[in-house]
Structure 1
């Protein structure tokens, strides 16, 4: 049985539209990446749209990317499920929704809806908010707590998303905007509670109050060089603060960046009137609309059932991705599985720390991988530093990854481990310019390299993320599940 290591370079795509930006990944001081890209027989994987179970043309993301890699098949994602329910007039028939409406009508209390503005579809989808507002009875007062993006969309795009929303609710006298927060505050996932607290205080009306209209507030922030991700939380006096007895509904469908805010609200107000689009965490006792589909016969499950060992390593920022999402969206540790969490460095943004925890991750890999049959490792640099829009910092982060990849190739050759290198989605390969930085994911394909005994092996020219797990199983000499895609190995 052959041992295999899978390295996932988060946010590391192939850019042919603006090839001058390839210097970020293929410059002379990236000898390992330059050699890998120069090899004519590597595979290009689709990592966006329908190929990862989301809307055609939409950017992929870390959650759907790792889920698809680990599942070995395309799994229909929540965005499509919610679209179908709203489009087919089925959402308002969900028992949780009818119960919520009944309570609000009977009690006369208010509904507070929170979530990320925008249409990139990574964490939320603004048309879902419109769909909810259409089916909420007009006698129920609705107050919106909106999070501006700037990571998965351009850094000043939220003013356009906000204007579209304002136009949509112009004839809905029962709907008002109560607060706005940059996602830096509202959607932290690394236990920076001081950030969450600011957004939470805005929802509770315990923060600076403004009599400006929301559009003016955003435009003034832009004038002050504060862009969407970092918009200071603000409460608008024309709205209403969340209070006991009110209903709180978080409409993000992706869990990782919605968990902390929901936890603090549930802790302070109880779970009875807390609703979320999906179940964000195991111990959540509130109601949620979309039930999790069970993804069976994942790579991790198959390896475990064969009595083999597996190791999952990532830093805090991406730990859920190599564990929960890689294992089919289930918070489960399979028999024979060991998970190693490396702490992410505590910095405000990763342009201040572009190498992140890459050295610490490799140290854990080097110490442990030879003792496991399968190892998966995530390096977050390309995505997390790419999101900052800082070209120099992103270049530094990729230079560090190039060094790590060189060490990993040598380590695997020395320990008779077959090495696979790929990515979950694109990001750092398109950075824009210092004057107009690009901070979002991309729809670009991602590379896939198979390295054996230190040499790159030719694989099929094209595929998708769903082809990775079957490839690993074939190398290990294990039969793939019947519902998995095909291997990328050549006959």
Structure 2
């Protein structure tokens, strides 16, 4: 291509059932509709084994999706790596696990487990937590505390009590042997602890106060907390429940994190684990007043940032992603632009570049600050501002390749509110319409795809029949998690009308995009990359 080659990721925009629960279908999308009808178009796999997850029952997510887009190959990802490390026993033979066990046996302080309590398999999996708890008991750890972050985002929106019951059953079984294993604190994942990309540090501060200091509203049990908070705020979903602590008969918190303890953050995904890890590890910390930092041994399920070596100790080595698309382009002197708003900035930079936190030679990174108000209140988010800057940058002629992420379909899709999700998709389509004439003007190419589905399925479905599930009042049950649906892939390259997708290529996925970008730029892809989606044959 003479002009720039641009990859636009419509985060969370899959191809669904085209029914009343499909916000992508319900949205007015003239630009996307035209591309699907008139330009090269195909579907891509964006979940399960196509992005390195354990099985095709596992929905995709933004982390693994952007890894695949940027790597050009499929790497085993966090969930699969942790499963293997637990099954083989290697996790429990590693230095991090051995050090955590040794610390609490020596001091008598509890072993604390902090993380997302669900089986969503996006940030964590409850079975990983249970394996760690049971192994701790087996190895003679007397005291364990769990700090449970409630999901309702990668799983049904009010499913928390299912996981609470599972956890309490495991803890109760272990307590029969005389050990003291209890829940210590908790809260909804979008209210405490799990911020990302420094969008909302007060969220992390609230988590720190609950988990570490034991400050916050007290409840006698995790179940009591969930039920009471729901009753007080009808309609609230799990991810938005406020934080709390669990107290004993004396009214005192049962699980402050104090000197001599060990803390394991059992989330395997990095983006929402980095900030709380920094709070535990950084000697000089200025993001909030954390008070006296307790002297604890801290470890992550994985290392969440390989460049920053954060955390220093981790149970399972992360995927080693090398020779990414960005590295190949940088080595060949190709200038690159990465742009998104805060909520997805790390996805088009860190994850796209194989979990590297520093820009490569010739890369320009632009972050548009996200709003902090609820996404359903501002479903247009920063799509227009991203496009403004992208167009200005493309017209400078400085960037041979650009990649961007419009976050709307995912972030608004996660709210479970259909009407704002429709507006979110329409907002993205409007930006596509603005970008098309610029691509034509510059004689470039625009490859539009998504990292996974989300807004395409806003209602829960019966797994056997596929029918939309309804509550006792006949209303559809909102879905807040990602989907298993394929994602669109459209090519707009008006100066190269001979280009088309290879219709003989079956089961192509996100990892095929990297070779396609190299193809458009005039480079041969490395031999081990998945092949380009394009053909120029008649």
> Where does structure 2 lack aligned partners over 5 or more consecutive residues?
249-253, 283-291, 460-469
Q: Which residue of 2 aligns with 1:193?
A: 201
Tell me the TM-score normalised to structure 1 length. Answer: 0.95
Structure 1 residue 465 and structure 2 residue 510: aligned? Answer: yes
Contact 2:12–2:454, Cα closer than 8 Å, also in 1: yes
2:390 to 362, 365, 387: 365
Query: What corresponds to 2:520 in structure 1?
Result: 475
Task: Output aligned runs, 1:43-62, within 5 Å.
Answer: 43-56=42-55, 57-62=57-62
**Corresponding residue for residue 279 of structure 1:** 303
Distance 1:313 1:37 in 2: 25
> What is the rounded CA distance, in whole Å, between the counterparts of 1:192 and 1:31 in structure 2?
35
Asked if 1:331 is matched to 2:331, the reply is no
Contact 1:27/1:34 (CA < 8 Å) preserved in 2?
Answer: no
Output the TM-score relative to the length of structure 2. Answer: 0.87
Offset, 1:193: 2.3
Please give the root-mean-square deviation of Cα atoms over the aligned residues, in Å.
2.0
Residues in 2 aligned to 1:329 and 1:98: alpha-carbon distance in whole angstroms:
26
Q: Is the 8 A contact 1:205 1:235 kept in 2?
A: no
Contact 2:277 2:311 in 1 (8 A): no
Alpha-carbon shift at residue 454 of structure 1 (Å): 7.9
SS in 2 for 1:421: strand
Q: Deviations over 1:21-57 (max 9, x none)?
A: 44x3345732112223335851110000111001211
- How far apart are 1:423 and its partner, in Å? 0.2
* Aligned-partner Cα distance in 2 for 1:177–1:323: 36
Specify whether residues 426 and 28 from structure 1 end up closer, same or farther in structure 2 by C-alpha distance, changes over 3 A only. closer
Alpha-carbon distance in structure 1 between the residues aligned to 2:103 and 2:358: 35
> What is aligned with 1:178?
184
Count how many residue pairs are aligned between Structure 1 and Structure 2.
488
Shift of 1:150: 1.1
Q: Distance in 2 between matches of 1:389 and 1:115?
A: 22
Write the distance in 2 (CA, Å) between the matches of 1:240 and 1:292.
30
Q: Give the Cα–Cα distance (whole angstroms) in 1 for the partners of residues 237 and 21 of structure 2.
A: 24
SS at match of 1:385: helix
Mean Cα displacement is larger for which, 30-39 or 338-347?
30-39
**Change in 2 beyond 3 A, CA 1:41/1:451:** closer
CA displacement at 1:431 relative to structure 2: 1.1
Report the alpha carbon displacement of residue 289 of structure 1 after superposing the two structures with TM. 1.7
Worse-matched range after superposition: 58-67 or 399-408: 399-408
Give the corresponding residue for 2:9. Answer: 8
Q: CA deviation at 1:93?
A: 0.6
SS at the partner of 2:172? coil
SS, match of residue 115 in structure 2: strand
Secondary structure of 2:173's partner? Answer: coil
Kept in 1, the 8 Å contact 2:100–2:111? The answer is no
Which of these residues, 449, 452, 458, is aligned with residue 493 of structure 2? 452
Quick one: which of 422, 432, 455 aligns to 1:428? 455
Matched, 1:384 2:411: yes
User: Are the counterparts in 1 of residues 259 and 294 from structure 2 also a CA contact under 8 Å?
Assistant: no
1:402: how far off?
Answer: 1.1
Q: State the SS of the aligned residue for 1:129.
A: helix
